[in-house]
Amino acid sequence: MQGNTNGYPVNTPTSAGFALVGISGIGKSSSLLRILQMYPQVILHRKYKGQDMPAPYQIVWLKMDCPHDGSIRGLCLNFLLAVDSLVGTKYYKKNVTKSPDELLPLMAQAAAVHCLGVLVIDEIQNLQEAKDDRAAQMLNFFVQLVNTIGLPVVLVGTYKALPALNGEFRNARRNSGQGDATWHHFKKDEEWDWLLQGLWKYQWTDKKVELDQEFIDVMYDESQGISDIAIKLFMLTQWRALDKEIEHITPELIRSVARDRFTLIRPALEALRSGKKKQIQKFADIYDSVSIDDYLERIEAEQRQAERLEVIRSELGYDVTEQTVSELSAWLIDAGINQDIASDAAREVTKIHLHELDKIDIHKEALRLALQKSSGPKSNLTQPRSSTKKPKTMPTEPNDLRLIVTQGKKKKMTAYDSLKAAGYIKSPVEFLG
């Protein structure tokens, strides 16, 4: 008689690990630990389906550091010791004298017995110190844990770990469904501003100062977008202010503290600040060929753009300022703005935003300023040519669809293309999958 296997689960682990690599001090370990601490680390299960549990303690997560010498034996013993401290077992004492080849299956067995939910291995760059092929052996063992008992393994380290991960782990990494993630240092953009805005709430001096552009620039220049350094710099600056009885922090005080207290890391920061690949390569923890190449390409692109503008000005006799003012004035007049107001608004906006024409919508800025300069609805619109026709009502908001379509026509774009470029029409591909 053939047995019925319905209802019996088949052990097909689908768990997947991933690698998190980033510049030292960006917050990889701290972020992961805060996420893990949202869950209880150990859960007690006394019974399951009415039966006593042989190993009632389930370990939800375990975070540990890779040994400083990258040894497999050290990793296994650290794992067993950590399990003992959590659930009161004696794995370490019973197996401390065993060889790495004997310890690896014991480590996998302990993880399976206690239904370990996720294993986080930090400081994975220490694998670079492993001798012979131990690094490859350890990485392959992690993949085995993922594939055999369904244990997700999260590897965390600095850029120094990339040679091991990209080399020995290239094929094995394909079995990690979550792929990998790379955390670079902050760029000087909105995210950096948000970080400083949150940091700026913690001022201990008698007088608090507002976060302005000068502070933003100084903090970035002295920390190069590394959050850990920025936080320590902010803290040390206030300590000095309190020690010297200074009422509030200043940009000059920040630079002074960075110069005096960051002597050990200054060479690395200077390398990042220079943007020169050869200098950055000296510091493996902050060097990632992909991110640095992108950074250098961005600088070179900006330089090429500036050079093109100079060529246009000098060789072709093309005045970018006057051309932009003329084009904006004509566009505003065509939109119904009074000629004098259009000319003033176009010239003022061009003067302010001349060096960032490729980053903002100069037409929207010009229209906004022109409307502000207009004293009323009658003064900012040109008079109709015929009194028998109704005055043309022009949109007053930069995001008005009519204005977007009108602007697109000047660029020989259809209404559909204009609205799509402005983000009002989405591509169907975005909604697939």
Which of left, alpha, beta for 39 (phi over 0: left; psi -120 to 50: alpha)? beta
- From CA 432, how far away is CA 68, in angstroms rounded? 46
Contacts of 244 (CB under 8 A, 6+ apart): none
- pLDDT at site 39: 92
Spans of all domains in the chain: 18-183, 190-280, 319-398, 399-433
Torsions phi, psi of 352, nearest 5?
-75, -40
- From CA 391, how far away is CA 383, in angstroms rounded? 7
Predicted model pTM:
0.55
Strand arrangement, sheet containing 118-122: 61-65, 118-122, 153-157, 18-22, 180-183
Length of the chain: 433
**Long-range Cβ pairs for the range 286-289 (8 Å, 24+):** 286/23, 286/24, 286/158, 286/159, 286/185, 287/159, 288/21, 288/23, 288/159, 288/162, 288/182, 288/184
Angle CA(300)–CA(166)–CA(227) in degrees, nearest 5?
60
- pLDDT at site 431: 46
- pLDDT at site 345: 87
- pLDDT at site 61: 94
Q: What is the pLDDT along the chain (433 residues), one digit of tens a residue?
A: 344 434 434 444 455 677 888 877 888 888 889 999 999 999 988 777 777 766 678 899 999 988 887 788 888 999 999 999 999 899 999 999 998 888 888 988 899 888 899 999 998 888 776 666 677 777 777 777 777 777 888 888 887 777 666 655 544 454 455 556 777 778 888 889 999 999 999 998 989 999 999 999 999 989 888 888 899 999 999 999 998 999 999 999 999 999 888 888 777 777 777 666 666 666 645 444 444 454 445 545 555 665 655 555 554 444 567 777 888 888 888 777 888 888 888 888 888 876 666 566 778 888 888 888 875 544 444 444 444 444 445 555 556 677 777 777 777 777 777 777 777 676 654 544 4
Are 254 and 233 in contact by the 8 Å Cβ rule? The answer is yes
Are 336 and 392 in contact by the 8 Å Cβ rule? The answer is yes
Q: Residue 303's Cα: distance from chain center in Å?
A: 25
The CATH number that domain 18-183 falls under is 3.40.50.300
Torsions phi, psi of 250, nearest 5?
-135, 160
